[in-house]
Structure 1
């Protein structure tokens, strides 16, 4: 792997040097229009954008309330969140989650979690105020951004404003009543012709929240974050940018996990390079390299099990990767993107247990045990890809892409019992994925899209190498399987969007619809193995662990619909709903973590200095469950949120909100259950009750 990354770095340095020699120009005192880095996927260009995309939540435009991680996804049609507390929150899209979603920052940077219980998913390593927008590709409909199974989520961080040179910045702070939570952020940027610097620092202090019944849910946490982004423009066509950021989580309580986080420290560095207008045929070159390190410690000091056993687990994760892509245009109607990318994930760490009571009897001298969590494992994925876009005519674009991934996985320090189960050797997989799609602009007001994608995902490290750890929604111990086949998602989708101009006080009617069907091969699930017995606390139920296996007969289908009526110039009424139906034919049940039918109605208005909206959320009950996953049926619920924004003076923005205004007590179907909590049984954790919030930002 070192040879591969050395080659990537050498290529990056070579292209920088080449660009300096090729692009020497006379010194110009006039301001240049700087080409921004390709850190975004969706640019608003019909000829280059991927098919079936969504750009959501432009936070810098309508800042209303202090945002937790869940707020980034809760109001995007088709998304749900998997919640274990107020910190460890994972997004789920159309029933795809975890590594089934390709989640990244700024077009490719990744930071994988260190905790096997996902106390520290990728969304915890960046503060929500840094995110300017979220870009979503709804399925495996592009091969350019890494191996993709269920879709791509690109979190775009705020970039320098090249239209406004000099020193600028913003200061913001917010408060939430439910938990007495505080958030703040300071950001400065300095922009010149040749270089730009953006620096930010933030602090968040969230307390335990209360649900609609007034029950306090253990969910407090503190986090401190800072980042520095430096860019240098060799010319108007050539740019190099470095981004460094660190995040420090402290004293994080996880209501639905067996332990809490003492600390979670992450460091991420990325280097991006772009060179445009190289020649008549070779249009551009982009390159990226990144490195992330997560250092995580979890303990059970505040849990009921502490009286019987003290446990502390120190784990770490390293993620490194890079990408080089060339954009060719051999003739006017054909655009070709080809390149190489690589990602290497390595994890290690142990759990120390000090057992005080054994078989119901107190021990005069506690016994110490050491358990290997990750068993010093790694996964390396090296991919090559080509994607072409052909303009059949001025209104129709055909896209086709092919990708090959060479995936190598190995376990270097296995436990004896795990080594006895399997023939542990370094394993290499050869995955081929591809896509073909058509985008047709019927008119300026109507676009039709159709796509097929074959997404392939090799098993993650938990599914391969975990050894008798409780990592699911249920109390079972799970055992990995290094011989798992890669999951395959054959997804078909058709969608259309458009708008119609109206009269008599009504301005426009906007609409958007997507219908999809996925046939899944080698779907990975945990299955109870009655030939094996529990390793830790053998007297507890369930006595048989689960082992990850492949199933062959599974599918899911669904639809998303959005309609918005704009009227009286400034007002709008929007309605949207999403529905997913999934089936695991092998086990005769639904696939795990399938969200219920969800509907939203939003009534609002937007003026330059004042905006407001009322959102009514309707979530249906979920009776179709995965019993093998430990799911239970969930009741439906209805909630209402009210948001107001105001710019009383230039550069000052004030936002206030009431979330869950009815003070409803409810839990989402995807919420995990209370675990190892003295005052709670094993039931799904409830959501926050009524929450008043205020947010103030001053920009200069």
Structure 2
């Protein structure tokens, strides 16, 4: 890996030097801002991927997201997987975790250290720092790493469009349910030659109450800061560095067996781009990133502590890079070619101090065990890709791309029982991904998008190397399988986007079908018994296996009607059906049909809306995953925002105005909690919020 990153750095330095010698220096007042590859969707039909959506409405939401995953609640087709208020993962069309390619600023990644995903990537950057979310709805591009179910690009704040000098933003929020507070302060300093963005944030969330007044243990605190420095080397090249750290403290996880004492993450990224290199070569870009997560979890405040004290210290290192060349062999053809690499390394152990035997008798001398969590494992992914866009007509673009990934995985410190079960030589996957699509503007107001994508994902580290740990929605111990074949998603999609002549009515729809190969799930193996607490139920263990037959299909529909200039009515519908033919049940974590109806008013200085959410019953479930049928429910959210004077925003909201007691189908169940059975955790009841923001 060091060789790979040395090559990336050398290439970057070489091109910087080349750019400086081939372009004449111009007066600093003539510098133009080179757009780095942080943004995937730019509004250019010749370069944008197909089947995309962009959202950017944090200021207008006027509520306090717990973490970045909360920003997905209002995006059509998305649900969230919830284990408390902190460990929240986005789910899109029943794809989740590494099935979704989640990244920051066009490629930066930070992988979780906890096998129970107490610290998913969405916890390492605060929501206030996200300026927009870009979504590619399937494996329809090969440029941004191996992609199975779609890409989520979280774009952080940058100083585009601001005048030179000092600018800033301060915001604060409060919500009554949990007595929770959020604060953030951000500064921009901009000159022609360079710019700096710095921010610091603090969040203190208490345990919330559901609609029945039951307190759900879900408190947490986090402190975050970051600094981004950009330097315009010349009029055609830019270099940018981004450093940030996040510190989570005293995090309660209602649906996990332990709590987080601390979760510290550090992320460093370096981006470079040069444009106008010649008649054919339009641009060259380079990215390198590094992240480290240090995580400690314990059961010291849980019922199981009376019998066994457990303390688990784990860490994760992620590093990677990308080189990409944009060239145009002809006026109608644009090509992106490049290489990328990603390295993931995890290690750590759980120390168990057993104070009572299986009969409940206190031991004179406690027994101490050291359980290897990650067994010092790593995964390396080296990719090469080419994607071409051909303007076959002034109103139509044909896209085709192919990608090859060499994925190597190894385990360096296996537990004895794991080593005895498997051949643990280094494993190698050779993955081929491809896509072909066409985007056609049918009329001035209607665009047709048709796409096929083959997305391939190698098994992640949990699926390969976890060794008898409870990591699912159910109480089973899970056992990894190093011999898993890569998952394949053959996805077909057709979509329409349009508007009428006066722009008063907008609509969009997508219909998709995915045929899976080698889909990875945990399946009960009656030949393997529990390793820890052998007398507990369930007695047997789940082992990760590949399925032969699985698929999903679904749709999203949106309509937005403007009324009397200032009023609007918007509705969104989403449905996904997934089937595991091998076990004759649903695939796990498939959300039910959901719909939202929004009636609102928007003017320059104030806005208001009422959103009515309808979630149907979900009885098409994965019983083997521990799922149970979930009742439908309805909620109402009301929001109001105003700009009483320039650059000052004030907002108030009431969420779940009906004080409904409910749980989302994707919520995990209470685990190792006093006075709670193993039932899905309930969501917050009525919640009043206030938000204030000042820009200068």
TM-score, with length taken from structure 1: 0.98
Q: Which residue is equivalent to 1:98? A: 97
* 2:639 corresponds to 1:643: yes
Partner of 2:526, secondary structure, is coil
Query: What is the distance in 2 between the residues matched to 1:63 and 1:619?
Result: 21
For residue 237 of structure 2, what is the aligned residue in structure 1?
Answer: 238
Q: Output aligned runs, 1:482-561, within 5 Å.
A: 482-501=482-501, 508-561=504-557
Moved over 3 A (4+): none
Checking the alignment, whether the CA contact within 8 Å between 1:57 and 1:72 is kept in structure 2 is no
Q: Partner of 1:400 in structure 2?
A: 400
Could you give the per-residue CA deviations for residues 196-217 of structure 1, whole angstroms, max 9, x where no partner exists? 0000000000000000000000
Which residue of structure 2 lines up, in the alignment, with residue 157 of structure 1?
Answer: 156
Residue 67 of structure 1 is matched in structure 2 by 65
More displaced 10-residue stretch of structure 1: 480-489 or 359-368: 359-368
Give 1:270's aligned residue.
Answer: 269
SS of the residue aligned with 1:501?
Answer: coil
C-alpha separation in 2, matches of 1:112 and 1:412: 19
Offset at residue 71 of structure 1 (A): 2.5
Q: How many angstroms apart in 2 are the aligned matches of 1:655 and 1:481? A: 50
Aligned residue for 1:281?
Answer: 280
Aligned residue for 2:33, secondary structure, equals coil
- Partner in structure 2 of residue 173 of structure 1: 172
Please name the residue that 2:558 is paired with.
562
Residue 323 of structure 2: aligned partner:
324
> Does the aligned pair in 1 maintain the 2:396–2:440 contact within 8 Å?
yes
Corresponding residue of 1:584: 580
Q: Secondary structure at the match of 2:16?
A: helix
Question: In 2, are the aligned partners of 1:34 and 1:162 still within 8 Å (CA)?
Answer: no
Partner of 1:255: 254
CA distance in 2, matches of 1:643, 1:552: 47
Q: Does 1:354 align with 2:353?
A: yes
Matches within 5 A, 1:111-190: 111-190=110-189
* Rounded Cα–Cα distance in structure 2 between residues aligned with 1:202 and 1:243: 16
SS at match of 1:529: strand
Which residue of 573, 589, 593 corresponds with 1:593? Answer: 589
Instruction: Please say if 1:687 is aligned against 2:683.
Output: yes
User: Structure 1 residue 37: deviation in Å?
Assistant: 1.3
The answer as to whether partners of 1:133 and 1:157 remain within 8 angstroms in 2 is: yes
Matches of 1:67 and 1:85, distance apart in 2: 13
1:623-674 Cα offsets, whole Å, 9 max, x none, are: 0000111100000000000111100011101111111011000000000000
CA distance in 2, matches of 1:267, 1:137: 27
**Residues 267-293 of structure 1: CA distance to partner in whole angstroms, max 9, x if unpaired?**
000000010111010000011000000
Q: Counterparts of 1:31 and 1:169 in 2: how far apart (Å)? A: 25
Distance 1:17 1:362 in 2: 70
- For residues 166-206 of structure 1, the C-alpha deviation after alignment (integer angstroms, 9 at most, x for no partner) is 00101110001100000000000100000000000000000
CA displacement 1:476-534 (0-9 Å, x = unmatched): 000000000000000000000100136xxxx6111000000000000001111111110
1:352-384: per-residue Cα shift (whole Å, max 9, x none)? 000001112211111100000000000000000
Shift of 1:15: 1.4
Q: Is the 8 A contact 1:642 1:657 kept in 2?
A: yes
Distance 2:478 2:253 in 1: 20
Q: Which residue of 1 aligns with 2:51?
A: 52
- Pairing 1:34–2:33 present: yes
* 2:445–2:501 contact (8 Å) kept in structure 1: no
- Residue in structure 1 matched with residue 568 of structure 2 by the alignment: 572
Q: Secondary structure at the match of 1:532?
A: strand
Give the Cα separation in 1 of the matches to 2:215 and 2:433: 47
Q: Name the counterpart of 2:480.
A: 480
Deviation at 1:63, TM superposition (A): 4.9
Which digits, 9 at most, give the CA deviation of each residue in 1:431-459, with x for residues without a partner? 00000000000122110000000000000
Q: CA deviation at 1:264?
A: 0.0
Partner of 1:214: 213
**Secondary structure of 1:301's match?**
coil
Q: How many residues align?
A: 694
Quote the offset at 1:23 in angstroms. 2.0
Structure 1: distance between partners of 2:356 and 2:526:
27
Deviation at 1:241, TM superposition (A): 0.2
1:304 and 2:300 matched: no
Pick which of 1-10 and 329-338 moved more.
1-10
1:99 is paired with a residue of what secondary structure?
Answer: helix
The two structures, once aligned, show a CA RMSD in angstroms of 0.9
What is the CA distance between 1:104 and its match in structure 2?
0.2
Match of 1:414 in 2: 414
Deviates more, 1:145-154 or 1:63-72: 63-72
Counterpart position of 2:80: 81
Counterpart Cα distance in 1 of 2:446 and 2:565: 22
For 2:406 and 2:315, the matched residues in 1 are separated by: 24
2:373 maps to 373
Q: Which residue of 1 aligns with 2:673?
A: 677
Mapped contact 2:549–2:582 kept (Cα < 8 A): yes
**Cα pair 1:53 1:137 within 8 Å, conserved:** yes
Q: Is the 8 A contact 1:437 1:450 kept in 2?
A: yes
Q: CA deviation at 1:47?
A: 1.3
Alignment partners' CA distance in 2, 1:371 and 1:145:
36
Deviation of 1:13 (Å): 1.6
Q: Does the 8 Å CA contact 2:263/2:293 hold for their aligned counterparts?
A: yes
Q: Are 1:659 and 2:655 an aligned pair?
A: yes
Q: Distance in 2 between matches of 1:695 and 1:275?
A: 40
Shift of 1:31: 5.0
